[in-house]
Amino acid sequence: MVSPMYLIAVLLGAAFLHPLFERAGRSLAKSVVLLVLVFIAVLPVSWLADLTWRGMVPVVFQTAGFQAPVSISLRVGVEEAVFLIMINAAALFGGIYLMLRKSPKWEGKVQVLFLTMLLGVNGLVLTRDLFNMFVFLEISSISLYALLAFTRSSDAYEAGFKYMVAGGIASALFLIGVIYLYRFTGTLNLDVMIAAGGGPGGKAGLTALFLLAAAVLIELKPFPANGWGADAYQAADPGISAMLSAVSATGIFFVFYKITPLLGAEILRMAAISGGITFAFSQLLAMKQVSVRRMLGYSSIGQIGLLTAVAALAPMLTPAFSQAAGGSSLPGGLVAGSGFLGGGVFPLLVLLAGNHLFSKAGLFWMSGITGSVDTGGLPERASLRRSPAAAGLQGLLTAALAGFPPFPAFWAKWLLIMMLVSTGSYFLSAVILLGSLIEAWYLFRWFLNCVKKPQDSGNVHDEEIPDDFAAMEMDQEMSQELRPDLKSGGVPVSGWGFITLFAPLMHGLILAAAGTVLAFMFFAGTPGFALLLPLAALALFTLLDSVRVPFKLQVFLGIAVTAAYGLMLLPGLVGIRLVFGLIFIAGSAVQMVPLVNRKGRHPGLMGMLTALVFSLGNLLFFRTSLEFFFSWELMTVTSFFLVSRGNKASGAALRYLVFSLGGAFMILAGLALSSSGMNGGITAVLMGLGFLVKMGALGLHIWLPGSYAETDDDLSTFFSSVLSKAGLFMLFMTAGLLAQASFASVLGWIGVLTAFAGAFLALFKEDIKYTLAYSSMGQVGYMLLSFALMSQLGWMNSLYLAVTHLLFKGMMFAAIAGVIYRTKTRMMYQMGGLISRMPISFFTVLIGIIALSGVPPLVGFGAKWMLYTALIEKGWYLQAGIAMFASGVAFLYLFRLIHVIFLGQLKDEHREVKEAPLWFLVPQFVGIIGIMLFSMFPDIILKPLQTAVAPFFSGDIFWEGYTVISTLGYWNGNVVMYVTMGVFLVPLAWLLTVQRRHTQKVGQFNIVYAAERPYRPETTHFGYNFFSPYRKALGFLLQPAAARFWYWVGSIAEVAGASIRKLYSGNVQTYSLWIVLYVSIFLLLLQGGV
């Protein structure tokens, strides 16, 4: 094993000799520094290899034959090696980042400081001697103080000064603690102290230990004694902030980890509490930040707080971990891994720390590369939209930091929550989940603000009626954007500019690779590799994007792989899974077709889409709760990125993310509770709520309209007709849990109210996509209601609705997407009379609305029939009444939809529009054929559904030819169809006979107009505020109560963040006061606790 002294020596030597190299040549000096960085990154790898494969044991190295503290004593074990690999890798890329950057230059002095800082941190990690620790701490700190001033701004000096004051107090505490420890134990060696049975006993000993722990904790920036830390993050150069967060903080955390065996239960408990508080409050604080780096800084502080808490809880968690590892809920790979990583909770810490280190450093660099200073977004010319690579990278890093699969934090989050819940730490679990939610909220808010389009205000959650004369200003902005001198922003768009992305790219790759390896480890041993297909698809299409494969080709490929996937997967499914499999896979394949129509390049789109479809597919065959949760989160994150592609979708996307993630966390909590043996009501409530969020049930729906509507027009259909069923499917899967009567009836009420609210809100929308979005919400409400009936007819109807809703909503969205594509507007009242221009689309929408509104003879009636029959059978009369009202209201908005778009007056600007492109028509044809078939022969869908629910409910309904007979009534779709045809054709024949001659087709203005003539189609077309009497009569129901409630919830967090912020007055003396107070309270509690 190579001695760690070389590490120290090389760093020290390079730092000292640097001026000489510098004199010989700047590039030489830089190369030497790079070489050193590579060396220190590679060396720990070799240690790890030695320690694992070559089976060596950890070694303690001494310098110069002396004992520490007179000399240096360094230990190389698995822990040290792993942390050094991560730290030094980050340092390497940090160095590369600083080097590749054009301005500010990476000066020689800075390189020296960089090396000494690394020296300090490496020493911190390796040393086993308390006084060495102090020395290394001071080396790294002093280097950091100096590095902070790298930007030479007064802010940097200020931050440096504050940092020094705080650091000085901490080191004073540290020194006193160390010297007392020495006094009590007679040694400074950690191993000896630990071997002697932990720290010294007694109050004095405890105090000494406390002083040591407090010093380390203060260096870790606990709440509220951390204002100086945030200031430093904010003022430093992004490259330095990254190092501060990734290298220094991780190193100091490792110190804390090292001394935990020494500290004893009381101090550890206090440290855990402090860590938890820091985590929660930092997230609140970060949410209110305007400065990107300060926000990231608070996030770092929070993450380190979480790490502290986990490390401090290690004694408590270790048994749970081994229990979990021993049980079936953890895969064998990780069990083996945990052994080889040193056992205990150490793997968890590595996952958390590594994930944080790489993603946070990457994000700091991204903020430097894109010039993003303000969380409110980037200047228009620098928007990340212009650089898909940069946008993708930032998305990846953000997703990793937020803990989405497959990144390490996801697995860590899973393990952590599982362990915490199994040890009964419900409160801490809740705090962690809540904090993670807030973290995802502000991180993605920043991401969205970076990638959003200039016209996106960022707060679009509901329709916006455009001003009549807004177009002029827009033009001006556009022309500004086209000015060539403004074209080159901070973001590299092409060519060599991409090289600046190298460092974050490497971090992204490391994270992705680690995540994939982890996924393989977790799903090893099972044929669960299919679960990783979404990732494979994502990788494949990213590759295709990077070699610039034309988009159309990608779409065809996407359809092909989806179809192949379906062919592989579906034959193996039965029952309800098969029904949803068809919806998820076949429905998606058909609805990808309109994408062919797109022009240009759309990097990432197909990848995300196929990944989304595959992760939906995953839901069909998962077996363990981890597999399920993995797929669920993957579905959330891919669909989020799809939403965020919309033109004005950033606000909606954020809401979508926060709600989805909140739901997912509830599901996680529920899963953890159930796996720890609690199958009570709370589990059902949590999981049910999680699924209801995804379905957009009333009260949890406020994310829905925006994200369905603001998504690209040809993608909306996925969300509405496919994705919304995922929650329903999971409800079916967990029906056993929810089957208790009281839950079912609550679900039923939620369902029927959702149905009504969706229909009612859709009624007043001018924006067609919002109409359809709310309509989808209402339809899902019916599905939920039917599901909640927990009867044969109810479930059949729920499935029937799911299938038919896919057909008609899919084709309507496709038709509407075609219309929007042609007319370039989403406002219904700006359309009109399009029937003459787009007859096929009209026919599709006509069939769609007849089917959707449940008018016989089309499929929709079957759903109504089953619904009301089942409701009356069950005795849910009031629900039935509301459902009928809702379906009447649905009829209103559907009529409005078809009328205002296709009938009435054709506008001048639409006089020349053509029928939608063929690719938009394909899903429409499929839908029409499906609807006609099912309408004519309802048994071909109803009978399989009856079979599907047969394992759950025995038969209440009978068949007599085509007639389906329930206990209450009967319905023969076939005869109804014939009778309808008959009564339709006979009058038509009569009319054609009588009105054959001299019937003149007239123009659009040939109307009786009180003996006047119309002058403009716009003023003649009745479309705006179509149901004004309804608004007058029932408009009070439109109060956005749910939105207000969630605003209120959100504002609690914001107000909390805003008021906590006031602690950080910026005055260094206040900061010192907080440190003193922190220490004193810590001590008081500790003494009181003993």
Site for another protein in 977-1016 (CB under 8 A): 979-980, 983-984, 986-988, 990-991, 994-995, 997-1014
Confirm or reject binding of residue 488 to another protein (CB under 8 A).
no
Which 392-451 positions form the footprint of another protein (CB under 8 A)? none
Residue 709 or 964 with smaller CB distance to another protein: 964
* For residue 44, cis peptide bond before it (omega within 30 degrees of 0): no
For residue 1000, the minimal CB distance to another protein (Å) is 5
Which 55-94 positions form the footprint of another protein (CB under 8 A)? 69-70
Q: Which amino acid is residue 753, in one-letter code? A: L
Q: Are 793 and 869 in contact (CB under 8 A)?
A: yes
- CA dist 366 and 389 (Å) reads 11
For residue 937, the minimal CB distance to another protein (Å) is 14
User: Hey, how many other C-beta atoms are within 10 angstroms of the C-beta on 336?
Assistant: 13
Which one among 234, 591, 631, 639 touches another protein, defined by CB under 8 A? 234
- CA dist 617 and 570 (Å) reads 9
Q: What is the DSSP string of 249-260?
A: HHHHHHHHHHHH
Residue 322 or 972 with smaller CB distance to another protein: 972
- CA dist 538 and 171 (Å) reads 48
Q: Which amino acid is residue 425, in one-letter code? A: S
H or E element, residue 964: strand 963-965
Stretch of residues binding another protein (CB under 8 A), selected from 101-109, 521-529, 646-654, 849-857: 849-857
CA 728 vs CA 219, 612, 852, 870, 944: distances in Å = 48, 17, 19, 18, 19
Q: Which amino acid is residue 283, in one-letter code? A: Q
Residue 822 or 1021 with smaller CB distance to another protein: 1021
- Give the contact letters, 889-918, x = binds to another protein (CB under 8 A), - = no: x-xx--xx-xx---xxx--x--x-------
Give the binding-site size for another protein (rule: CB under 8 A).
138
Q: Are 127 and 89 in contact (CB under 8 A)?
A: no
For residue 355, the minimal CB distance to another protein (Å) is 28
- Structure token pair of residue 656: 């979508």
For residue 1061, the minimal CB distance to another protein (Å) is 4
- CA dist 611 and 638 (Å) reads 7
- Give the contact letters, 279-318, x = binds to another protein (CB under 8 A), - = no: ---------x------------------------------
Q: Are 818 and 841 in contact (CB under 8 A)?
A: yes
Stretch of residues binding another protein (CB under 8 A), selected from 193-201, 257-265, 592-600, 875-883: 875-883
Q: Residue 875: which residues within 8 A CB-CB, separation 6 or more? A: none
Which one among 931, 1017, 1078, 1086 touches another protein, defined by CB under 8 A? 1017
Which 798-837 positions form the footprint of another protein (CB under 8 A)? 833, 835-836
User: Hey, how many other C-beta atoms are within 10 angstroms of the C-beta on 134?
Assistant: 21
- CA dist 179 and 774 (Å) reads 68
- CA dist 1063 and 1071 (Å) reads 9
For residue 232, the minimal CB distance to another protein (Å) is 9
Which one among 846, 936, 957, 1042 touches another protein, defined by CB under 8 A? 846
For residue 155, the minimal CB distance to another protein (Å) is 6
Residue 372 or 1072 with smaller CB distance to another protein: 1072
Which 311-370 positions form the footprint of another protein (CB under 8 A)? none
For residue 688, the minimal CB distance to another protein (Å) is 25
Residue 646 or 833 with smaller CB distance to another protein: 833
For residue 740, the minimal CB distance to another protein (Å) is 21
Which one among 547, 1032, 1039, 1088 touches another protein, defined by CB under 8 A? 1032
Stretch of residues binding another protein (CB under 8 A), selected from 242-250, 273-281, 735-743, 966-974: 966-974
- CA dist 52 and 1 (Å) reads 12
Residue 736 or 1066 with smaller CB distance to another protein: 1066
Which 932-951 positions form the footprint of another protein (CB under 8 A)? none
Phi and psi of 236, rounded to 5°? -75, 160
Which 128-187 positions form the footprint of another protein (CB under 8 A)? 131, 134-135, 138, 142, 145-146, 149, 153-155, 157-162, 164-165, 167-169, 171-172, 175-176, 178-180, 182-183
Q: What is the DSSP string of 1037-1057?
A: GG--HHHHHHHHHHHHHHHHH
Residue 195 or 988 with smaller CB distance to another protein: 988
Q: Is 960 helix (H, G, I), strand (E, B) or coil?
A: strand
Confirm or reject binding of residue 208 to another protein (CB under 8 A).
no
Q: Are 542 and 607 in contact (CB under 8 A)?
A: yes
Confirm or reject binding of residue 104 to another protein (CB under 8 A).
no
Residue 548 or 998 with smaller CB distance to another protein: 998
Which 676-735 positions form the footprint of another protein (CB under 8 A)? none
First-residue to last-residue Cα distance in the chain: 44
Confirm or reject binding of residue 1021 to another protein (CB under 8 A).
yes
Which one among 719, 868, 919, 920 touches another protein, defined by CB under 8 A? 868
- Structure token pair of residue 881: 């009444």
H or E element, residue 61: strand 59-62
H or E element, residue 784: helix 768-789
User: Hey, how many other C-beta atoms are within 10 angstroms of the C-beta on 957?
Assistant: 17
* For residue 331, cis peptide bond before it (omega within 30 degrees of 0): no
Strand 963-965 vs strand 958-960: parallel, antiparallel, or unpaired? antiparallel
For residue 865, the minimal CB distance to another protein (Å) is 5
For residue 849, the minimal CB distance to another protein (Å) is 8
For residue 687, the minimal CB distance to another protein (Å) is 30
Which 751-780 positions form the footprint of another protein (CB under 8 A)? none
Residue 700 or 859 with smaller CB distance to another protein: 859
Which 1052-1081 positions form the footprint of another protein (CB under 8 A)? 1061-1062, 1064-1069, 1072-1073, 1076
Residue 188 or 783 with smaller CB distance to another protein: 188
Residue 251 or 347 with smaller CB distance to another protein: 251
Name residue, tokens 């959330």: 636
* For residue 1040, cis peptide bond before it (omega within 30 degrees of 0): no
For residue 872, the minimal CB distance to another protein (Å) is 6
Strand 59-62 vs strand 958-960: parallel, antiparallel, or unpaired? unpaired
Residue 39 or 161 with smaller CB distance to another protein: 161
Phi and psi of 489, rounded to 5°? -100, -155
- Give the contact letters, 184-203, x = binds to another protein (CB under 8 A), - = no: ----x---------------
Residue 978 or 1045 with smaller CB distance to another protein: 978
Confirm or reject binding of residue 888 to another protein (CB under 8 A).
yes
Residue 471 or 1011 with smaller CB distance to another protein: 1011
Which 211-230 positions form the footprint of another protein (CB under 8 A)? 227, 230
Q: What is the DSSP string of 72-100?
A: -EEEE-HHHHHHHHHHHHHHHHHHHHHHH
Strand 963-965 vs strand 970-972: parallel, antiparallel, or unpaired? antiparallel
Name residue, tokens 């039935």: 880
Which one among 39, 61, 520, 1027 touches another protein, defined by CB under 8 A? 1027
- Structure token pair of residue 710: 């603001």
Which one among 565, 774, 865, 1082 touches another protein, defined by CB under 8 A? 865
Q: Is 937 helix (H, G, I), strand (E, B) or coil?
A: coil
Residue 603 or 904 with smaller CB distance to another protein: 904
Residue 956 burial (C-beta neighbours within 10 Å; 0-12, 13-18, 19+): middle
- CA dist 634 and 615 (Å) reads 6
